[in-house]
Amino acid sequence: MPGVLAVLEQRDGALKKVSHEVLTAACGLASGIGGAVEAIVVGPPGIDTDSVGAFGGEKLFVVTHEDFKLYQPEPYAAAVVERVKSGDYTAVVLGATAMGKDLGPRIAARLACPLAADATAIEANGGIKVTRPLYSGKALSELTITSTPCVISVRPNTFTAKENAREVSVEVIQAPDGPNAAVRARTVVVKEPETARLDVAEAAVVVSGGRGLKESENFKLVEDLVDAFGNAAVGASRAVVDAGWRPHSDQVGQTGKTVSPQLYVAIGISGAIQHLAGMRTSRVIVAINKDKEAPIFKVADYGIVGDLFEILPRLTEEVIKARGT
Ligand code: FAD
């Protein structure tokens, strides 16, 4: 019976959190349309794949090459396409991450098959229906997939990873080629952000600051709340990134990163449409703003109208008390 192929992501030989979300999305899809979940990961030798069975994968293909330490667009796409052609899959599921946004269209183009990008929900009941946000999240579009195989990328942090233990068999394949002279694009270096904090696109809690903080030094208040949560990242509006208060890697929004954490706290951010585009699918949104008419309150689940300089230290204190940290 045709199955679902989950394309996993690794960094430095460890599976990324989004890989477990992709497996969960693939399992949900497979339970609706039938078939098993198989997975593929492409990377350097020695990837730690122990968790694949725990999240529902029944067969894992590990395609390795010494030169796959960094994502290499053409060889990675070739490896996945080769797998799809050798197997029998209704759908290929991957993360709508920086890598997935590049890889998904390459796979779909090579297979001449449909691509549904950045899905926030997948309904599988005989057929496949995918929901994806449009117009900076102001509208949701529902796509019905009419031909298979298809490629679906899922928005990170939207499909909460669920354990679903399975016996997994692993096949390691040595890729014939790395990024050789024939490739048209090659990843040469990946620059890590200077901070040791979590990446804004991967954290369960994101605390973002905007121009309401008045000056870059006041981001210390945001960082204190982030540290109090522990599993959190610092985010920022474009206004403060443009002002040089925060690096671009922190920016949330249309021209920054798209995030969907469990909790998004917007502090001194007005809620311009371009900012909302990057965070409105967050599970719970809390906004602190002194202007009760600020548009951010339209998407917030909890709104605190007041001066952030008074509220933030008290909020941080309460989080520390509640978490016993
Ligand atoms: P402001 O709009 O100035 O808001 C500051 C807020 O702080 C106000 O609501 C104010 O009431 C509040 N405030 C002030 N003092 C206090 C206080 N003491 N206590 C509590 N609240 C206080 N923006 C993004 O964020 N991300 C993007 O990716 C992005 N991409 C863009 C792409 C394009 C093509 C364009 C044109 C714009 C883009 N923008 C983006 C910019 C966006 O339009 C806004 O200008 C920006 O988001 C505003 O940032 P802000 O909310 O920090 O600042």
Q: Is the dihedral of CA 110, 116, 117, 121 positive or negative?
A: negative
Lowest pLDDT segment from 125-134, 177-186, 208-217, 220-229: 177-186
For residue 31, the tally of other CB atoms under 10 A from its CB is 14
> How large a percentage of the chain has pLDDT more than 70?
100
The strand ranges marked E within 216-300 are 232-236, 263-267, 284-289
Where would I find the beta strands (DSSP E) of 36-120? Answer: 37-43, 59-64, 89-95, 115-119
Q: Is the pLDDT of residue 137 over 90?
A: no
pLDDT of residue 11: 92
Distance between CA 187 and CA 266 in Å, rounded?
A: 34
Q: How far is CA 57 from CA 20, 61, 73, in A?
A: 10, 10, 24
The string of pLDDT tens digits covering residues 183-205 is 899 999 988 777 778 889 889 99
Q: Give the 3-state secondary structure percentages of the chain, helix then strand then coil, rounded to 5.
A: 30, 30, 40
Q: Which of 75-89, 136-150, 276-290 has the lowest mean pLDDT?
A: 136-150
Element of type H or E holding 225: helix 219-229
**Which tens digits make up the pLDDT trace of 46-62?**
999 999 999 999 999 99
- 221 CA from centroid of ligand 1 (Å): 18
Angle between helices 98-111 and 73-86 (to 10 degrees): 50
Task: Report how far apart, in Å, the C-alpha atoms of 283 and of each of 65, 149, 231 are.
Answer: 38, 31, 15
Mean pLDDT value across residues 87-92: 97
Across 194-231, the runs of DSSP E, i.e. the strands, are 205-209
Atom 38 of ligand 1: nearest residue by CA position: 274
Query: Pseudo-torsion of CA 87, 89, 95, 96, nearest 10°?
Result: 120
Residue of 241, 249, 254 to test ligand 1 pocket, by largest number of atoms within 8 Å of CB: 254
Angle between the N-to-C axes of helices 308-323 and 219-229, in degrees from 0 to 180, rounded to the nearest 10: 20
What per-residue confidence (pLDDT) applies to 194?
Answer: 73
Which of 136, 249, 270, 307, when mutated, tests ligand 1's pocket best, judged by the most ligand atoms within 8 Å of its CB?
270
Q: Residue 92: its pLDDT value, please?
A: 98
Q: How many CB atoms lie within 10 A of CB 216?
A: 13
**Model pLDDT, residue 126:** 74
User: Among 135, 208, 211, 246, which residue has the most ligand 1 atoms within 8 Å of its CB, making it the best to mutate?
Assistant: 211
* pLDDT score for 138: 81
Please give the average per-residue pLDDT across 163-182, as a whole number: 89
Rounded to the nearest angstrom, the distance between the alpha carbon of 278 and the centre of ligand 1 is: 13
Whether residue 318 is predicted with pLDDT greater than 90 in this model: the reply is yes
Residue closest via CA to ligand 1's atom 31 equals 274
